[in-house]
Amino acid sequence: MQITNSKTLFEKAKNFIPGGVNSPVRAFKAVGGDPIFIKKAEGAHIYDEDGNAYIELINSWGPMILGHNHSMIREAVIKAMENGTSFGAPTAREVEIAELITSMVPSVEKVRMVNSGTEATMSAIRVARGFTGRDKFIKMEGHYHGHGDSFLISAGSGAITMGNPDSPGVTKGTAKDTLLAPYNNLEAIETLIAANKNEIAAIILEPVPGNMGLVTPQKGYLEGLRKICDDEGIVLIFDEVMTGFRLAKGGAQELFGVTPDMSTLGKIIGGGLPVGAYGGKKEIMEFVSPAGPVYQAGTLSGNPIAMAAGHTMLTYLNEHPEVYTQLNQIGGTIANGIKDILVKLGLNYTVNHLGSMYSLFFTDKEIYDFESAKHSDTVLFGKYFQSMLQKGIYLAPSQFESLFLSTALTNDLIDQILDANEASLKEIFQ
């Protein structure tokens, strides 16, 4: 496998882009080697600048549920572009997709479009503060809510991978209002609330974290958070940028039957294009300008190209619930297949799996929070990543990222993925 063109591009990129990449995890620092530069994608495959094809298990970090460059989404984008690419003014499609989202996501009675998941979470916290008149909020250790200052306190994903979870540039004044709790630990939440009585505006979390690897909520945890927030007048925010419309039509909140007060959503509502949204109870969202006093704005919010792609995607998911049956079958086949391979090879490592998301952790410990995830052997993961890459399987270049599957994975491709896993694990442990 030749990657000459990718290497040349990376060397050139480092002259003009910090670290040669526009998002840290792409740099491959956690797995060794240089990043692969992608030229095109189609279905379950991506193709690099050297012409190499890879079966891809990231799907643009989640939104490509139907696979890359789906004809339905592509045609919607082309048709929308015929009328212009940006207006900075209201469009009918914004109303249509807002109505669709409110019909699909249990917590959302009103929704505001933004341009990214980061912008959605930043805005949601601001609105929660404005609604409650309180300043502090609780986030979970290792959960990643974008790169807003308030969230880069024990963040997950790239922050863990780069070994720098508390980013320079985040002021002490900002950090003091961010309270940390371990995921899956209600007692810690109760302790924080008792020590900050009537000061906490919100609790924000990924209901199913994907940014420290995939971790699932323990029985009663989400329900417990819901009760605590009800008792204390705290706004419960689910960050469903990854899980929204992926784990179920209505996201993790539908799957687990726990309805937050607010939700943040990401790229999938743009069919993979740059977009985000936050929404929730009507009385909370009425605090957003111009209806209320909490200011938030954006020229590209509700961009007509992104709205056309997103409306097409969400309409399809809404009308075809069998997609989730298919995704769950694909996820179960791959995750269980890897577990069987581990047993066959006498390897005691942990596979976490839910629906079309999974992670292989190189540790024999149960993974249920940030601290347990950090027991993973990242050196072994790097060897595994590189071996899989050489076999034509493109994984997330970090131990601390969930993988995301698509309906484009056929039985033959699944067999190839499992064969590559077995060969790679044998290679590592020979």
Catalytic option among 29, 136, 249, 267: 267
β-sheet with 357-361: strand ranges across? 350-354, 357-361, 403-404
Report the SS3 class of residue 322: helix
Residue 144 is among the residues annotated as catalytic for this protein:
yes
Q: How many other C-beta atoms lie within 10 A of the C-beta of residue 175? A: 15
C-alpha 408, offset from chain centre: 19
Peptide bond into 290 cis (omega under 30): yes
Residue 261 is among the residues annotated as catalytic for this protein:
no
Question: Quick one: residue 61, left, alpha or beta (phi over 0 = left, psi -120 to 50 = alpha)?
Answer: left
Report whether 370 contacts 212 (CB < 8 A): yes
Quote the DSSP letter at residue 290. T
Residue 267 is among the residues annotated as catalytic for this protein:
yes
Tokens found for residue 400: 């601390």
- C-alpha to C-alpha distance for 185 and 368, rounded to whole angstroms: 10
Question: Quick one: residue 251, left, alpha or beta (phi over 0 = left, psi -120 to 50 = alpha)?
Answer: left
Cα distances from 19 to residues 49, 149, 165, 305, in angstroms, run 19, 21, 18, 30
Report whether 35 contacts 23 (CB < 8 A): no
Catalytic option among 48, 177, 239, 369: 239
Q: What own/partner pairs with CB < 8 Å and gap ≥ 24 does 92-97 have?
A: 93/302, 93/304, 93/307, 93/308, 93/311, 94/302, 94/307, 96/307, 96/311, 97/269, 97/307, 97/310, 97/311, 97/314
Q: Rg for the chain (alpha carbons), in Å?
A: 21
Q: Is 53 exposed, middle or buried (0-12, 13-18, 19+ CB in 10 A)?
A: middle
Residue with tokens 């410990």: 365
Catalytic option among 29, 136, 139, 144: 144
Which are the catalytic amino acids? 144, 239, 267
